[in-house]
A and B are shown apart, each in its own frame.
Chain A
Amino acid sequence: MVKTQLLVVGGGPAGLCGAIEASRRGVETLIVDEGVELGGQLVKQTHKFFGHEGFYASVRGFEIAKRLKDQLNEHVKIMLQTTVTGIYEDVVVLYDRQNDVPLEVQADYILLATGASERFIQFENNHLPGVYGAGAVQTLMNQFMVLPGRRFLMVGSGNIGLIVSYQLLQAGAEVAAIVEIADRIGGYDVHLRKIKRFGIPVLLRHTIKKALGQEKVSGAIVVQVDENFQPIEGTEKEFAVDAICIATGLVPSVELAAMANVKIEYVPELGGFVPYRDQNMRTNVENIFIAGDLAGIEEATTAMIEGRIAGLTIAQSITKANLSREIESLQRELIEFRSGPFSEKVRRGLAKFFPQRVVEYSREPQVDSGPVGKLRPIIECYENIPCNPCQTSCPTGAIVVGGNINSLPKIDYEKCTGCGICVSKCPGLAIFMVQENVEPGFDLVIVPYEMLPVPEEGERVIALDRDGKQVCEAQVIRIVRFPHKTNLVHLKVPAGYATRVRNFRVKKQENVFVCKCEEVTLEDIEKAIDLGFTDYEELRRYLRIGMGMCGGRTCRSLVLSILSRKLGKSPEELLKGHFRPPVMPTKFESILRGESNED
């Protein structure tokens, strides 16, 4: 039997923050987590978080997990790969999976931070291997470095669907399309713009009808739906994909709470069945607290704040210290975070437990796009989301989000020095730098870039617009690399394109092989001819064309036609080159065998 003052179930952002606050005040804490490392969903999040600096805005999720772990002190014990299998009347039972043994725990307080599980949906053949939940894809891809497919269909356009689509692109996969059953995108506009810039189509009012494939997914059929979300016959579209990623929402994991006699209520706005709790995250059971997605599907920043409130309240109960000032301050943070339009649903849900307040924010957008010809940022952030690193990172105070974090950023171009720090800091990658006429006939656009390969300075790339459409060629003239991997790529574009270019595509090395034996490409040959090689035999000797096993049978005429085209000479004029035995490669031992037969 293990005894602890506080048992934290789940070591994600909410549980970790609860443990941090409680242990900091001397509460003996045991964190139990099913995973192989602490951090919960944070360890799979490679994008930079929104919010403000106090809650790790502009820091990538897995980095936040590290920072939280670093704050745990000597009062904290951790058990990983351990599942709480039940909260019984007498004890809490942990099942240690590594040692295959149950462990009994008595805790004075329990913080349940069990998070959520993925909401699955019904469609034909949804059992086929290749159908994944978005969380599973993230776990495989970002935690265990396994890419579970090459070409994905993403179902769901909430933040998870959008973020995972972007991460798939970063990992080198293709996203054939994102389908969304509703008539509008579920996630943040800045997340949507990030993937639209790569030309990923988003189909609204569409859903998946069927997975194709015998033993694994080889395609998907999607269909348009009517206002009642019913499929419209004849609108089916087929996609050739080898993986289908389901990102249709999360369901709070309420099992343990329910076992502990916590009142479970049905609040669709919070994700379905959720435990009752008050503003201090305390449930109807005096010593049981909840935080994070279990308390209502939201996001990591609010989970962290809730965890801290729970940890402080528990510490207050145990130590009898007055922590109300800290708790109230965090509650005000929550109110501010939830004042935006995206939290409207959550507020409605929470209103069933306690009254909700909002603080006013500004909806006024930036109208001025600054003085033409000056190197300056263009902020394409048009949605009221709780986020302000542009303001806090600006060294000259030129960007102001205002008193409320949900307000839209505004920039005073007179104060702006064009340093570009905001571009690298913006978690939504929504800020670009432009300068018209940086040299005669050319504009400069600086885009934040998180893909591989990072192009070389001087490289010519294909410039893309906000919808990922090819608009012109651009030249990479500078790359500013940052340790946080949001690199700033400076693109020289034709004059007039500064307002359109927002992304680029590295020109793919499409290998057109002419000599397959020696792997010589059309590009190699054309380059050599441009360098001054004028004969088939010179090319052969320089590039090894025809020096392979086939002796030039395949490539000789191809090379002659390339030469003919490039030099404007007829193939007859070009030296045809030598023909050398043996026509078929012959083993030495075969030659020797012939020799001994003659003896």
Chain B
Amino acid sequence: MKTEYRIIIVGAGIVGCSIAYHLAKFGESDVLVLEKNYISSGSTGRCAGGIRQQWSSPHNVLLAMRSVKLFERMREETGFDIEYRQGGYLVLSYDEQEAAQFEENVKMQKNLGLNVELLTPNQVKQRFEYVNVEKVLLATFCPTDGHANPHLANFAYAFAARKLGVTILTHTEVLAIEPTGSKFKVHTSRGRFEAKIVVNAAGAYAGQVGSMVNVNLPLESYRHQILVTEPIRNFFDPMLISFSGNFYIRQTKHGHFIMGQGDKDERPGLNYNVTFKFEKDLAKKMCWLLPFLRTLRVVRHWSGHYNMSPDAQPIIGESPELANFYYAVGFSGHGFMLAPAVGEALAEKVLFGETKHVSIAELNVDRFERSTVRETNVV
């Protein structure tokens, strides 16, 4: 078995696979991806699959806009139908302060070239008659937002990367990383590998991977729960979401409704259990919002993790303390949708020393030494 590579990526979620794919696409296929479980076993395979460009932070808007361009080409590029659907994101606000912020956000988003509009509750009702708009103050809608099947998108990048010569080893857990100056020795459950460059794309486990080389990444993982119903005929185009209302919901290509909410009382840490309280709370909230859901059956309920950074924006770049140690972590619940642009940008940064499409300069860890503005558009 080959043990020396130019680049080792830790984590075969969509971020790791997107980085690997883009490295190979740009000509560098001497890449090994190490995955302790299986492809999509972490946060990617547990997320709802939303693809949103409506953010309060300009960095996130730009990354997301670039991602949408890449999602649009993904089928053509990888040969996988990832069930990508641009049905728009309808964001509902139930809070006056938030509604005011939305008006600011929309101005900023429009300045960055995003097609987005403000809607009154009545306009929402006219367009989406099945939504109960009671208590809604304001909504925003971006028609090029949408959703895709996160599993298939993850496999799309993984298999496309493999096709270009990348090696992905699953069931290979990274136990320790030893920087030796010129290279890294990566000790795994399947033996030792070596590489000049290591990229941390370990999702919920990113903090632990950072600490293996004493790179402190200010990250905490929080459990988020999610459930899915039985399928019905497709009619529900947009992803419906609210930060102040604390929910998101979409209908998948196969007709299932997938939905979730955050929990303010959740303690940091890795926890894959689920609570019945979540089902009860969500049933109440969602049946009020979308009364047609009442007769639908819940078929599956699981949890995953948001790997949170202090400002809810990802931490991407090369470690200022340890050369050739890169990371794309701390996505704070939005790794799936940002993965195409981040993978591309990080691959460019690694190979060419600079990004070509969208800047990630402001997203490195050293931003926390300066002042940073927290992303507020998070469920």
B286-304 CB contact bits vs A (8 Å, 1 = yes)?
Answer: 1100000111111111100
Q: Is the CB of A534 within 8 A of B298?
A: no
Check: A452 CB closer than 8 A to any chain B CB. Answer: no
Chain B residues with CB under 8 A of A587? 294-298
* Interface segment, one of B88-96, B125-133, B181-189, B277-285: B277-285
> With contacts A531-B159, A537-B38, A549-B230 known, is A588 near B299, CB below 8 A?
no
B17-56 CB contact bits vs A (8 Å, 1 = yes)?
Answer: 0000000000000000000011111000100000000000
Q: Is the CB of A575 within 8 A of B299?
A: no
Report the nearest B residue to A541, measured CB to CB: B151
* Interface segment, one of A218-226, A244-252, A589-597: A589-597
Q: Is the CB of A532 within 8 A of B159?
A: yes
Chain B residues with CB under 8 A of A535? 38-39, 170
Chain A residues with CB under 8 A of B40? 537-538, 541
* 8 A Cβ contacts from A558-583 to B: 575, 578, 580-582
Task: Please give the distance in Å from A527's CB to the nearest CB on chain B.
Answer: 13
Chain B residues with CB under 8 A of A582? 279, 298-301
Check: A585 CB closer than 8 A to any chain B CB. Answer: yes
> With contacts A541-B45, A591-B283, A592-B283 known, is A585 near B37, CB below 8 A?
no
Check: B66 CB closer than 8 A to any chain A CB. Answer: no
Q: How many residues of B contact A (CB 8 A)?
A: 33
Size category of the A interface is 20 to 34
| Cα–Cα distance between A9 and B300 once the two chains are bound (Å) | 72
Report the nearest B residue to A594, measured CB to CB: B280
Report the nearest A residue to B293, measured CB to CB: A588
Chain A residues with CB under 8 A of B283? 588, 591-592, 595
Report the nearest B residue to A536, measured CB to CB: B38
Check: A214 CB closer than 8 A to any chain B CB. Answer: no
Most buried by B among A537, A588, A594: A588
Check: B378 CB closer than 8 A to any chain A CB. Answer: no
> With contacts A532-B159, A534-B38, A544-B254 known, is A588 near B300, CB below 8 A?
no
Check: A586 CB closer than 8 A to any chain B CB. Answer: yes
| Cα–Cα distance between A588 and B297 once the two chains are bound (Å) | 6
Task: Please give the distance in Å from B27's CB to the nearest CB on chain A.
Answer: 23
Check: B223 CB closer than 8 A to any chain A CB. Answer: no
| Cα–Cα distance between A269 and B284 once the two chains are bound (Å) | 86
Chain B residues with CB under 8 A of A534? 38, 170
Chain A residues with CB under 8 A of B294? 587-589, 592
Chain B residues with CB under 8 A of A586? 297-298
Q: Is the CB of B300 within 8 A of A575?
A: no
| Cα–Cα distance between A548 and B302 once the two chains are bound (Å) | 15
Q: Which of A538, A580, A594 contacts B300 (CB 8 A)?
A: A580
Chain A residues with CB under 8 A of B152? 541-542
A55-66 CB contact bits vs B (8 Å, 1 = yes)?
Answer: 000000000000
Chain B residues with CB under 8 A of A549? 230, 297, 299
Check: A547 CB closer than 8 A to any chain B CB. Answer: yes
Check: A551 CB closer than 8 A to any chain B CB. Answer: yes
Task: Please give the distance in Å from A542's CB to the nearest CB on chain B.
Answer: 6
Q: Is the CB of A538 within 8 A of B38?
A: yes
Task: Please give the distance in Å from B270's CB to the nearest CB on chain A.
Answer: 15
Check: B305 CB closer than 8 A to any chain A CB. Answer: no
Chain B residues with CB under 8 A of A532? 159, 162
A-B pairs with beta carbons under 8 Å apart, 15 shown: A531-B159, A534-B170, A537-B37, A541-B45, A541-B152, A551-B300, A575-B37, A587-B296, A588-B287, A588-B294, A589-B287, A589-B295, A592-B283, A592-B284, A595-B283
Residues of chain B at the chain A interface (Cβ within 8 Å)? 37-41, 45, 151-152, 155, 159, 162, 170-171, 229-230, 254, 274, 279-280, 283-284, 286-287, 293-302
Given contacts A549-B230, A591-B283, 16 further A-B contacts (CB under 8 A): A532-B162, A535-B170, A537-B37, A537-B40, A537-B41, A551-B299, A575-B38, A580-B274, A582-B279, A582-B298, A582-B301, A586-B297, A586-B298, A588-B295, A588-B298, A595-B283
